Structure 1
Amino acid sequence: MQNPITIHDITDLYVIVDDHFLKKTGGVGRPSALTDSEMITIPVWCTALLRSKTIKDIYEFIRIYHCNDFSSLPDYSSFVRHCNRLNPILAKFLQGSLQTDSKIQFVDSTMLPVCRDVRANSHKVAKEVAAFGKNHQGWHYGFKLHATVNENGQLCSFCFTPANIHDAQTLPFLIRGRLKRIIVGDGGYNASVMRKRIYKENNSFVLAYPHPKQKKKLINYWQKILLRARPKVECVFDYLKNHLCLVTSFPRSVNGYFFNYLRNLPAYQFKEPERSLKIIIDP
């Protein structure tokens, strides 16, 4: 998507979802009480407006305050089952809102723990896909969100991996196409082999701090400015984790975890640009 979109009413979001992102296809069997467009509108709107933590909170809010807008709201168990089927459609919906044509992008990753470390050995819900990973804050058990954002803090690309995947290994999945871009990251993205591969395959330049064990290099003034602005991607992660509800331990299935992740990212993307960031250039 070329231009960012903000939403002011639940009807505005529904129109965007129904008209621009989702293709209506005929299904097999009895139709659901709510369409996929309505089912995507409900969690994204509640997450952006109320910062709802659980599907139960979303359901109760819609049942009490939007019963006229969704007159055919099903019972809670049917609502949960429909939510768990939405992950592929939610991913396509989010993909359509990404600012993929941004010339300057800031890349980083953040941990998404599924439980506390002391409970990792007894955790069973995401046991087959979660893993232990370590960053500057210590050990975590769960997943990792890799993302790029532009100078305004809007998402450009994203992917999820187990927590033990190195940041630089996800660059080919985050940077696609041959569009000329500058990718700004921390020292974890400074591997020369990966930087050469990205430049050769994707025509993009990766700018990163040198690793502490690498030799120091001189940089240009524009490189200094971009490296100073790199923490804006960490500000995005802070908003997602502390102001929205990206990190959770409530789901009871892997689909539930990713439904929570995929409803929070569009909610952030379509909120009012209160989190818009600017690059400050000092002489």
Structure 2
Amino acid sequence: MSNLEASYNLILDNLREISEIENFYFKPIKPKLSDIELISLIILAEFKSIDSEHQLFRDIKGFEIEPKIDRSVYNRRKRKLFPFIEEIRMKMVDKLNESENYFVVDSMPLEICKLSRSSRSRICKDVDYAYPNKRFCASQNLHFYGYKLHAVCSISGVFQSFDISPASVHDIHYLQDIKLQISDCVLLGDKGYLSQTIQLDLFNEVNIELETPKRKNQKDYKPQFYQFKKYRKRIETLFSQLCDQFMIRRNYAKTFEGFKTRILAKITTLTTIQFLNRFIFDRNINNLKINLV
């Protein structure tokens, strides 16, 4: 058995324990490859940085699963499994972040094409509510065209929740969604999340204490607690890992549904490796550049 197939079997065995269901939605004809096996294949491809479906099906040639799935239906089924992949991810997150009280919020740019092509690009323009647009990212000194990835992670480095918005949406609007996802905790953000109104709203409604550094020209300015600064770097490291190992900025999707499914697959893969590191191998959960077997 090859290393690739052994890794696939390890991922599949653990996902079966987590989900306890093989197929998630009704199909007129029962497929040879179950939904949980397909999700394991998606995670394997992202873990091995195989971004091309053509390359993936070349690599699994000779595997037991090879005759069970055709490349023509792989992507269609992958998109349909979006809510169920997120459900599996949340089950892992609930175990990993079980005793966490401190979280970090931040965003990163997701470029779908170069600015020079933006005026004629048709990528992700199939739905009216999610048109990509232009924005300037101050932290990277970058003008880009596409979306923003907004995310909340624990200080141990596990993504609790995330969302995608057009690039022009300000970071602070994501805090309205956070109220539905977490409560009774301390949330650390950068100066982009400064808002006394939002701060009071979060505290009064869901008991979230929003901690952001003050600007030097603000009244009663004092430097942010050193440990909070250190915690905030955790999410920046995660974003770097998504860019480096999981190539989150490389986009082959043509529709918004395909784009958001790719993003979810990469974040779910990162969470799966963290889950295996903690509960199977008993090692540092953020040691991602490893062989599973």
Would you call these one fold, judging by a TM-score over 0.5?
yes
Residue 158 of structure 1 corresponds to: 162
Q: Please give the alpha-carbon distance, in whole angstroms, between the structure 2 residues aligned to 1:52 and 1:256.
A: 16
In structure 2, what residue type is equivalent to 1:189? Y
Residue 109 of structure 2 corresponds to: 111
User: In the alignment, is the contact (CA less than 8 A) between 1:112 and 1:142 conserved in 2?
Assistant: yes
Matches within 5 A, 1:35-184: 35-48=34-47, 50-64=48-62, 67-68=63-64, 70-98=65-93, 99-101=96-98, 102-127=100-125, 128=128, 129=130, 130-136=132-138, 137-176=141-180, 179-184=183-188
Q: Please give the alpha-carbon distance, in whole angstroms, between the structure 2 residues aligned to 1:100 and 1:145.
A: 21
In structure 2, what residue type is equivalent to 1:10? Y
> CA 1:33–1:209 in structure 2 vs 1: closer, same or farther (change >3 Å)?
same
Deviates more, 1:78-87 or 1:157-166: 78-87
Q: 1:12, CA displacement in angstroms?
A: 2.9
Residue 207 of structure 1 corresponds to: 211
Q: 1:194, CA displacement in angstroms?
A: 0.7
Q: Please give the alpha-carbon distance, in whole angstroms, between the structure 1 residues aligned to 2:206 and 2:8.
A: 38
RMSD between superposed Cα atoms in Å? 2.3
Which digits, 9 at most, give the CA deviation of each residue in 1:218-271, with x for residues without a partner? 357xx3321233122111101101221212221222222122111110111122
Q: Is residue 2:270 matched to residue 1:259? A: no
> CA 1:92–1:133 in structure 2 vs 1: closer, same or farther (change >3 Å)?
farther
User: In the alignment, is the contact (CA less than 8 A) between 2:86 and 2:268 conserved in 1?
Assistant: no
Q: Please give the alpha-carbon distance, in whole angstroms, between the structure 2 residues aligned to 1:251 and 1:177.
A: 28
Which digits, 9 at most, give the CA deviation of each residue in 1:13-33, with x for residues without a partner? 212323323644562411223
Which digits, 9 at most, give the CA deviation of each residue in 1:49-85, with x for residues without a partner? x111223332322235xx12x1533221122222222
> CA 1:39–1:73 in structure 2 vs 1: closer, same or farther (change >3 Å)?
same
In structure 2, what residue type is equivalent to 1:47? E
Instruction: Give the TM-score normalised by structure 1.
Output: 0.84
Q: 1:94, CA displacement in angstroms?
A: 1.9
Residue 185 of structure 1 corresponds to: 189
Q: 1:9, CA displacement in angstroms?
A: 3.4
User: In the alignment, is the contact (CA less than 8 A) between 1:133 and 1:163 conserved in 2?
Assistant: yes
Residue 228 of structure 1 corresponds to: 230
Residue 280 of structure 1 corresponds to: none
In structure 2, what residue type is equivalent to 1:275? N
Q: Please give the alpha-carbon distance, in whole angstroms, between the structure 2 residues aligned to 1:16 and 1:164.
A: 39
Q: Please give the alpha-carbon distance, in whole angstroms, between the structure 1 residues aligned to 2:46 and 2:254.
A: 19
User: In the alignment, is the contact (CA less than 8 A) between 2:214 and 2:223 conserved in 1?
Assistant: no
Aligned length: 263
In structure 1, what residue type is equivalent to 2:87? K
> CA 1:117–1:215 in structure 2 vs 1: closer, same or farther (change >3 Å)?
farther
Q: Please give the alpha-carbon distance, in whole angstroms, between the structure 1 residues aligned to 2:78 and 2:155.
A: 33
> CA 1:91–1:178 in structure 2 vs 1: closer, same or farther (change >3 Å)?
closer
User: In the alignment, is the contact (CA less than 8 A) between 2:106 and 2:189 conserved in 1?
Assistant: yes
Q: Please give the alpha-carbon distance, in whole angstroms, between the structure 2 residues aligned to 1:192 and 1:145.
A: 24
Percent identity of the aligned residues? 17
Q: Please give the alpha-carbon distance, in whole angstroms, between the structure 2 residues aligned to 1:250 and 1:227.
A: 35
Instruction: Give the TM-score normalised by structure 2.
Output: 0.81
